[in-house]
Amino acid sequence: MNEHILLSTEGSDRGTAYNISGKIIRRGHRLFVGWLDAAEVRGGAARIRLGVCDVRTGELIKTLKLGEGVDNHCGPAIALDGNGRLHALVGAHHGDFLYRWSDDPEDQAAWSDPEPVGPHHSYPALAIDSEGTLHLAYREKGDRWQLQYTRKHSDGRWQPPVAIAESPVPGYNHFMHSLTVGPTGNLNLTFQFHYDESGNAGQCKGKAAVCVRSADGGDIWTNEGESSNLPLRVDSARPFASCLENPDHSLRLGTHVVDGNDHPWLFCSLPDPPRGVMWRHTDRGWSEIDLAGVAAQLDTSGGKSTAISRDAQGRIHLLVGTHPDGTPTGWYDPAMELFHIAFERDGSVLSPPRHFCVRARPTATGGGVGTGFSTSVKDR
């Protein structure tokens, strides 16, 4: 299936942004796709959508409305449990998420009433384990913004939150967090410390990248195999990548995926020299694959938009948005196009960069709604 499938002509300018949240799920012969439509009128509420598609053709069958959001940061997060129940969190921006579920998600009337989960949440990262427990990581606004974690057992309510990490200064912090349940049931949570002493978002820099894990479903968290006092701070965490020694340097994380051995892989941009790398964890620790050796013709430095997935054979697939002629660009540049790089399970390169699609041309109604990256529906 190579043709583009139109999902909406009213997409928000960040219709599928923030891939912190899962937005594509297969359920039987249907593919469920979440996105954000723009407000109907200037200053109005953004509309959180769930598309129902034919899994074979990709054709959009119907569009459901899950809720509304205050702005273009409020896209949905979706997850499917082992009993076929589809769970959704309607996003928020410093507010209450709205939790909903359905055993017949094609039917608008079959969705549960919204349940608020708050109070000052942004960016839901939602995962579900084999027992049907929902695991949720998110950013919480406060004097010092925190990365928090909560869970909901299949027969219970959302539990009190646990602060996993805390900004070292008051003001803005973007953790770029990513949460997964691995094949052994381990929880993997990656994030960055992204801040500035001024608290001003425009001056923030990513200074450290961290991975924490839980082998008991979220009760105890370890950082690089060692127990830690929570919340972690930039001076107490054990980062796998850091540029704390130079105040002008900055790094930026993408989301991660776990391989068949329950090890995370993720993209990260690094300084000195500016480059993009694929970080890969093994039994021996972290190692990096410099993408300059894989895609020398492409610029993968800076805050690139990426997506990552694992196929049924265990191979890792990376999509990266960058300028086709190698010109350095910001993550927001409309000249960027998508390139696909695939890796074998041992970290060797399966295929050189492949031009994935043509340039997106945003319109006055916002960018096209192209929903993310899935290499095999068997793995979703």
- Token pair listed for 151: 């869970």
Scan for tokens 């899994």, then name that residue.
Answer: 55
pLDDT in tens, 128-185: 999 999 999 999 999 999 999 999 999 999 999 999 999 999 999 999 999 999 999 9
Would you tell me how many other CB atoms lie within 10 Å of the CB of residue 345?
15
C-alpha distances (whole Å) from 69 to each of 14, 75, 142, 348 are 13, 8, 20, 42
C-alpha distances (whole Å) from 104 to each of 52, 84, 108, 239, 329 are 12, 9, 9, 43, 43
pLDDT in tens, 103-133: 999 999 999 999 999 999 999 999 999 999 9
The dihedral of CA 113, 118, 124, 129: what is its sign? negative
Between CA 117 and CA 100 the distance in angstroms is: 11
C-alpha distances (whole Å) from 206 to each of 167, 172, 250, 318 are 12, 12, 5, 21
Q: Of 309, 274, 318, 317, give the one whose Cα is nearest residue 292.
A: 274
Helix (H) or strand (E) holding 352: strand 349-355
3-state secondary structure of 108: helix
Q: Is the pLDDT of residue 366 over 60?
A: no
pLDDT of amino acid 238: 98
The structure's pTM equals: 0.92
Between CA 212 and CA 228 the distance in angstroms is: 10
Q: Where are the domains of the chain?
A: 251-380
- The residues with which 68 forms a beta bridge, in sequence order, are 47
pLDDT in tens, 50-75: 999 999 999 999 999 999 999 999 99
pLDDT of amino acid 358: 52
Between CA 76 and CA 89 the distance in angstroms is: 6
